[in-house]
Structure 1
Amino acid sequence: MLFKPVCIMSSPYASKIHNLLKVTAQLLFLIGLWWIGSFIQQFFHLPISAGVIGLILLLFALMSGIMKLVWIKSGADFILAELVLMFIPCVVGLVKYKQLFLTQGWQLILAVVLGTLCVMVMTAYSVHFGFKLERKLQQKQNHRQTKVEAHS
């Protein structure tokens, strides 16, 4: 016999294949949300990017309980882990236009620093607001459970 048949599910690669399929499915789902956001943006002629609309849809789905975080966590972690690769074309562009960067680079540096500070401040406020909202929702749920137990 030239080839020995191997059961894929019992092989040591089964968990790797399972993880790869899981991440791929979750990435396709996230891309689908982006695509839906793109459709909404074009249909309503919104001045907001499709990615932001997709993130708002994702936030709504997570907050309402339509979707669970574990359904997209592996795919989102993969995107965040590979995010650095998205900046390689920018660095190559800087090398290509070295003289322009040397003469007017301070404007770019100022914009990057100010943009980074704005993102950091808005992220801090968003996280603070999210924790505050989560705490209020938990208090409401605890209050409802206490009422139900009191009436029982």
Structure 2
Amino acid sequence: MNVREGTLFGLPTKSCGQALGVVSRYSPRGIAVAYFYGPFVDGPPAESPPAVLEIPAPDAAIAILRFGDPALVEGTWPVHGVADNWDRDRWAATAFVRGAPGGRAYVVQYDDHDPSVVRSERRATADEARTLPDDDLYGYVLVENTISRLMSD
């Protein structure tokens, strides 16, 4: 499967149907960053998307995660094509926060063309520590579990 920026895919959840994933950055090393929305479709994952697939705004995402790509490449998560009129500038996804809750936090800035390459790190402000996505690299099962939990909340 050819994964690239703007790829739309379904993500099966445990009990909430299917979430929608939008790949915003993709590394030749198999690391992806995606925005997740849900629920996208009730019931088990479909092989094809609904007739009309409207992509939500980036700020409506329930999560932004960095993860390895095997579930996309091997077809575990159904790929529904590439977004029309993809505009990568609307889908910033290179700054993440790491650190212990209540402790020191750091902003990790990844390369804009390769989310596996760290470009810089600096101390995070309190606002950044609260609002930026966590700097974790998820496996596909953890992505499914995390999105399932967020959709059931």
Q: Report TM bin, short chain.
A: under 0.3
TM-score (norm 2): 0.22
Q: Which of the two has higher C-alpha Rg?
A: 1
Q: Looking at secondary structure, tell me which structure has more helix per residue.
A: 1
TM-score (norm 1): 0.23
Q: Looking at secondary structure, tell me which structure has more strand per residue.
A: 2
> Quick one: higher RCO (CA 8 Å, sep 6+), 1 or 2?
2
